[in-house]
């Protein structure tokens, strides 16, 4: 099944199931993360779907939203952890003449960085805004010191993300955090495809104003989804609704000759077959920061 | 005033005020962060203190806990953001012959890393456990794109932290996160001293089994508390109860010849005059991780 998080009229959000007809059936949870945190979440979804199918059942509140009316929120607006892996596409690493890494390169961001699938991205104070199309893994059940099989079982599903990076800030120091943790700059969505319905590998594509700039297949990941979750869980607990970004294939703007960055008005599209597409326009206000 | 977070019998926590006599007066908030999130939090504290002074006022619940009975929880067990600065003590940087940095080196961890002031630290899977005694700043009010004066106003208070680091994991890749984000390994507390009662500079000391190993004065910080908060707020919002660690002075184990790491049973003491002391015993189980 495909699950989404929608903004509601009251300024809140709701989890929703994507129906066969492409509309959204609202579910009794604030977002996909809150839904997954309910151990019986599949039953909750089934019950809502049955109630919607049997429209005579007036006692149950049914709310179907047409695709055209849906306002997609960040898939996991309240994710406790958003952990990212860098340097993870083997073909790209090898074409650059580097050794495959022995350990995943990990860094953290907070849920405040996340943004909806079709939201505009406002950037104040960076002139080097770059793209990183990625497959993201949604944690479905709690795991700690899990082996790879346990980690595979704990995968809730998959979604699309773009780890938009402010390269000027990222390169100021050795630690990438300050180039990666800008509020409302990491689009994620439009849906989570549950692990049982997702394939084994994914084609990841990134486009700027319709031009293909990134293309990779997750079969070439050095550390696959279950390996990453297992590795991370050796030192920190992962909970339902946490998000792990698996890294980006070649073709980022920083790697071009000359380097290319997003400009005010550009549209970034991030797409994974079988999951969906993010389409985000950029508003870039490149004034300097106030201090330091 | 001095505020703390205590564990309660029911497995929960409560915010508390340290009284003049050194006991703890419980406050109507889950922890210091939840207290600071109430705009009128000073009134809440004053009301509780008045009610405690006027013991005839039977309608108000008064709960005084003796110091000996207090079980200190992590000061901010639910902090939304725990952002750390590295390489920030100017005297140490200069004695190493390095240039002072132009920008702060920042990295992130999650609230799961935090631990109480007297808790044992259990480490599974690292054999290079090192210490980093630090002054930590508690955010008192929300700030975003704040200048330095606004940031200074937003400081709620100061506390003591030790950014305990697993050097073997930290050095596996360029990003430090995996050596810094181990659950329940970063003691923080014992109290927050409110900004109005704290001094301008702090003596930070770290001891291993009673032997002084680190000593620095925050007057030599390259980026002081208000500068750090202002800088971070250029890209991400800081909220009441968020925590910013200001970096560690010289004297970490990794920098010794030969390097020295914590051993099973060692006691790490972290102390700042005017705030208090953390005392944490280590249980080190250095088996290898399960995977990768």
Q: What phi and psi, each to the nearest 5 degrees, are found at residue B75?
A: -55, -35
Q: Which residues of A touch B173 (CB under 8 A)?
A: 101, 103-106
Q: Which residues of B touch A101 (CB under 8 A)?
A: 173
Give the whole-angstrom CA distance, residue B186 versus residue B93: 24
Give the whole-angstrom CA distance, residue B12 versus residue B60: 21
ipTM exceeding 0.90, yes/no: yes
- Residues with Cβ < 8 Å from B12, sequence gap 6 or more? B30
The two structure tokens encoding residue B72: 């200190």
Give the C-alpha distances (Å, rounded to integers) separating B107 from A32, A67, B86, B163.
28, 39, 8, 12
Name the β-bridge partners of A232. Answer: none
**What is the per-residue pLDDT for B290?**
44
8 Å CB contact of B230 and A290: yes
Judged by a CB distance cut-off of 8 A, whether residue A98 touches chain B is no
The tens place of each residue's pLDDT in chain A, 292 residues long, gives 999 999 998 899 999 999 999 999 999 999 999 999 999 999 999 999 999 888 755 545 668 999 999 999 999 999 999 999 999 998 778 777 788 999 999 999 999 999 999 999 999 999 999 999 999 999 999 999 999 999 999 999 999 999 999 999 999 999 999 999 999 999 999 999 999 999 889 999 999 999 999 999 999 999 999 999 999 999 999 999 999 999 999 999 999 999 999 999 999 999 999 999 999 999 999 765 444 4
B145: how many CB neighbours lie within 10 A of its CB? 15
Give the whole-angstrom CA distance, residue B34 versus residue B107: 24
Question: Taking a C-beta distance cutoff of 8 angstroms, is the pair B127, B259 a contact?
Answer: no
Go through the domains of chain B in sequence order and give each one's CATH number. 2-69 (no CATH), 82-285 (3.90.850.10)
**What is the per-residue pLDDT for B266?**
98
Per-residue burial over A202-233, b if 16 or more Cβ lie within 10 Å, else e, is bbbbbbbeeeebbebebebbbbbbbbbbbbbb
Judged by a CB distance cut-off of 8 A, whether residue B104 touches chain A is yes
The tens place of each residue's pLDDT in chain B, 292 residues long, gives 999 999 998 899 999 999 999 999 999 999 999 999 999 999 999 999 999 888 755 545 668 999 999 999 999 999 999 999 999 998 778 777 788 999 999 999 999 999 999 999 999 999 999 999 999 999 999 999 999 999 999 999 999 999 999 999 999 999 999 999 999 999 999 999 999 999 889 999 999 999 999 999 999 999 999 999 999 999 999 999 999 999 999 999 999 999 999 999 999 999 999 999 999 999 999 765 444 4
**What is the per-residue pLDDT for A57?**
54
Question: Taking a C-beta distance cutoff of 8 angstroms, is the pair A146, A37 a contact?
Answer: no
Q: Give how far A181 is from chain B: nearest CA, Å.
A: 7
DSSP character for A72?
A: B
**What is the per-residue pLDDT for A94?**
78
Using CA coordinates, name the residue in chain A closest to B230. A291
């Amino acid at each position: 099944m495909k699950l989404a998080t929608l903004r509601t009229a009251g300024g809140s959000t709701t989890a929703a199931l994507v129906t066969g007809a492409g509309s959204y059936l609202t579910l009794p949870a604030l977002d996909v993360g809150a839904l997954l945190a309910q151990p019986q979440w599949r039953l909750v979804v089934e019950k809502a779907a049955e109630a919607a199918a049997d429209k005579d059942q007036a006692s149950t509140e049914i709310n179907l939203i047409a695709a055209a009316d849906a306002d997609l929120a960040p898939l996991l607006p309240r994710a406790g952890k958003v952990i990212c892996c860098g340097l993870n596409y083997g073909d790209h690493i090898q074409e650059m003449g580097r050794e495959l890494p022995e350990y995943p390169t990990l860094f953290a961001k907070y849920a405040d960085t996340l943004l909806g699938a079709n939201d505009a991205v406002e950037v104040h104070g960076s002139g080097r805004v770059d793209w990183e199309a990625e497959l993201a893994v949604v944690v479905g059940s709690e795991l700690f010191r899990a082996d790879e099989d346990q980690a595979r079982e704990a995968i809730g599903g998959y979604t699309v993300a773009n780890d938009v990076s402010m390269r000027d800030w990222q390169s100021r120091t050795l630690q990438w955090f300050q180039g990666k943790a800008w509020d409302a700059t990491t689009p994620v969505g439009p849906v989570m495809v549950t692990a049982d319905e997702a394939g084994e590998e994914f084609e990841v594509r990134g486009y700027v104003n319709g031009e293909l700039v990134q293309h990779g297949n997750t079969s070439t990941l050095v550390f696959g989804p279950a390996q990453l979750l297992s590795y991370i869980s050796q030192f920190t607990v992962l909970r339902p609704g946490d998000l792990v970004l698996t890294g980006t294939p070649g073709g980022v703007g920083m790697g071009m000759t000359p380097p290319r960055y997003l400009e005010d008005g550009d549209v970034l599209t991030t797409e994974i077959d079988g999951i969906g597409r993010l389409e985000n326009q950029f508003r870039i206000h490149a004034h300097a920061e106030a201090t330091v």
